[in-house]
Amino acid sequence: MKEGDVLSKGINKKSINFRYNIISIFTYIIGIILIIRLFTLQIVHGSDYREESNTRLTRESILEPARGDILDRFGNILVTSNQKFDLELYKSKIDTNTLNDTILKIIDVLEKYEIKYIDNFPISIEPFEYTISDDTLSNWKKNNNIDENMNAEQAFYQFKEKYKIENKSIEEMRKIIAIRYAIVKEGYSSTKALTIAQDINREAISEFSENADEFPGIAITVRPVRFYKEGTLASHILGYASKISDEEYKDNKDEYSQNDIIGKTGIEYVFEKYLKGKKGIKQIDMAVDGTITAEVIAEEAVAGSNVVLTIDSKLQKITEEALKNNIEKIRNGGFGKSYDAKGGSCVVMNVKNGEVLAMASYPDYNPQSFANGISNEEWNNYANNTSYPLLNKTIQSAYEPGSIFKMVTAISGLESGNITLAERLNDTGIYKKYGSEWKCWYYTDYHRGHGYLNVVGAIEKSCNFFFYETADRMGIDTLDKYAKYFGLGVKTYIELPGETAGILASKEYAQSIDKTWNPGDTINAAIGQGYNKFTPLQMAKYISMIANGGNNIDVSIIKSIQSSDGTEVSRDEINNFINDKFNIQNTEQEENIILNTDYLNAVKEGMKSVTSGESGTAYVRFKNFNIKVGGKTGSAEAGKDQNDNDIVNAWFAAFAPYDDPEIAVVVMVENGGHGNYTAEAVRDIMAEYFGMNVQNVSEDMQAVPYIESIR
């Protein structure tokens, strides 16, 4: 090794040792400083810091998000949320006397503004008596360490001693006990509040805020409350949201607290995920006496998304009124004979895309009652009503369709070649086959048949005989094929809960109920009787497909979902969400059928004759109407009532304008007597949709005497 290398190596080694010594000295000095600092904190100023720590509390408060609104297709708000203010009490480090005095001061303010406060204490004064039933009194005494032999007055004073209430009148003691009793039963702490009162007015809020030092431990919190702006309007569509149940909370603890509201029915239920929003967090610093010293927003709340419906709220209102008026008119004998019409439903649909423009179920209910906490009396009124106001009859009830099913039979017969457009069948009044006979309604009333009719005339006059023969020729399997294509006996998968698929008369269904399919079953099915039962919504889809040229449509009541940041949820996301929500595996049609335009036009021509031909079964309702309408009456036998009278459900199904259809309207009235009667409601709804003067139309088209047994 060279001399220079040895010298260089020695210098580097000395340099490294020097740097190491410097670092060691620096580390030693830092250690000394830290020790001195810890000594200062813990020994010199320890008592000061401990005292300061013991005078501060930090808790987190939940910031409730605004629940999303529900709007109609034009942006009109149907459901929103109002802000309500609640008074809460947190535990603070104050003595018993101060707590009792504070409670009394709080109640004085609440009573000043006539605000109700929590009071579940089961003893009243003046006179002293228990306010709970004898059945539960014994358990209550046991749970509260009250001697079984104590009367109400003795038990009252035991609570007075328990809560150490001094120098107060009996009335004041009773008020304090009510809150102290709630504290024990529901619990509270420095981080968990007891809600003393809800819906605090602004005057009370101001008084509490201006005198905060006199009310240690209290907090005013904001609570969103659902508000249904239009009362009962669209109640079966919107549904309602109310306080989460114990079972719902148990299943959703990660997302909800025990006082949250949650969607229970309708759109509120289905789109809860989008409507509910995301909670925020507020950090609150408090002194031990309950005084708030600082507030910081740790995480902002995110408002829920707005759900935009396809319905037109103005048309919805007219639809509900027309349905209600029609039912009341039938019930009161406004068409010549009264029927005990129980209720009904109506659907208005865009024939081109399947959007529901209006959907009514009668009788309805008030969702606000449920949002605010429904009373037992009001609940019993709903629950005991035999017209079932809580049921959405447009999708949750299925009915025999009667003669409005006959267009399916006609199309099936034409498409399968079992009848032709030119063929004329001779209705002799009685159809005899298989050792049985079936009568045409016309024979029942006039003891003769319609005579020779082609398919257009058969629809116009609603000739049972024609469709008996048509169905018998082709068989039930062919009829079912086309009925399924039109969506009958199949869920529409509208974005609402509780939809039923109904029943399509078939060999498979008969087998499922241990019945054998007979040729007579096919004949009954041809005119919408037998096993057939469909929802009004299915019938609206079916009429829409006839009107639009046989094109399949996806029924929907959701226009869009708008997030709080202004973006719009994609249609694919909505569809996937609904598929998951309702466990929809496959919504594809079993077979894509291309219908012959000539056959459809013939059927529509027959439907036009129903409203415009002088012998049409709804001519009297539309004879002066300004727009051409294709329609069909239906009167379906549905058993007997308790007095052994026939129950006949009344239908009218129609589309308009005839030459370029836009909407389909279907009305069904339970025990409405005759389909002709319900045509009046359809007419008034169409008059509103097309901007006609409903009042003038009604005056020009007063009910006139008509064939009592029109089908």
Q: Could you tell me which residue, 88 or 443, shows the higher pLDDT? A: 88
Q: Where are the domains of the chain?
A: 3-54, 59-309, 313-365+597-700, 402-581
Supply the CATH classification number for the domain 59-309: 3.90.1310.10
Matching residue, tokens 């659907």: 347
How far is CA 106 from its chain centroid?
Answer: 38
Tell me: pLDDT of 156 over 50.
yes
Quote the percentage of the chain above a pLDDT of 70. 87
Tell which residue, 286, 226, 232, has the closest CA to residue 70.
226
Tell which residue, 81, 103, 78, has the closest CA to residue 91.
103
- Mean per-residue pLDDT of the chain: 88
Q: How confident is the model at residue 49 (pLDDT cuts 50, 70, 90)?
A: very low
pLDDT of residue 612: 93
Count other C-beta atoms under 10 Å from residue 274's C-beta: 20
pLDDT of residue 639: 82
Supply the CATH classification number for the domain 313-365+597-700: 3.30.450.330
3-class secondary-structure state, position 422:
coil
Question: What residues have CB less than 8 Å from 36, skipping those under 6 apart?
Answer: none
Q: How confident is the model at residue 282 (pLDDT cuts 50, 70, 90)?
A: confident
Q: What is the DSSP letter of 46?
A: H
97-108 residue pLDDT tens: 999 999 999 999
Q: Could you tell me which residue, 589 or 429, shows the higher pLDDT? A: 429
390-419 residue pLDDT tens: 999 999 999 999 999 999 999 999 999 999
Beta strands per DSSP E along 372-479? 425-427, 430-433, 436-439, 451-453
- 50-to-42, 43, 53, 56, 183 alpha-carbon distances in Å: 9, 11, 5, 10, 29
First vs last Cα of the chain: how many Å apart?
A: 122
Q: How many helices (H) and strands (E) does the chain have?
A: 27, 22
Tell me: pLDDT of 14 over 60.
no
DSSP strand pairing (70-71 vs 306-309): parallel
Tell me: pLDDT of 23 over 80.
no
pLDDT of residue 50: 46
645-655 residue pLDDT tens: 888 999 999 99
Q: What is the dihedral of CA 404, 405, 406, 412, to 10 degrees?
A: 150
551-572 residue pLDDT tens: 999 999 999 999 999 999 999 9
Tell which residue, 283, 198, 228, has the closest CA to residue 67.
228
Tell me: pLDDT of 38 over 90.
no
Q: How confident is the model at residue 34 (pLDDT cuts 50, 70, 90)?
A: low
- How far apart CA 272 and CA 264 sit, in angstroms, is 9
User: What sign does the CA torsion over 231, 232, 237, 238 have?
Assistant: positive
Tell me: pLDDT of 451 over 90.
yes
Q: What are the two backbone dihedrals, phi and then psi, of residue 667, each rounded to the nearest 5 degrees? A: -120, 135
Q: How confident is the model at residue 196 (pLDDT cuts 50, 70, 90)?
A: very high
pLDDT of residue 221: 84
Judge contact between 399 and 533, C-beta under 8 A.
yes
pLDDT of residue 180: 95
CATH 3.30.2000.10 fits domain 402-581: no
Q: How confident is the model at residue 313 (pLDDT cuts 50, 70, 90)?
A: very high
Q: What is the mean pLDDT of residues 190-209?
A: 90
Q: How confident is the model at residue 16 (pLDDT cuts 50, 70, 90)?
A: very low
pLDDT of residue 93: 85
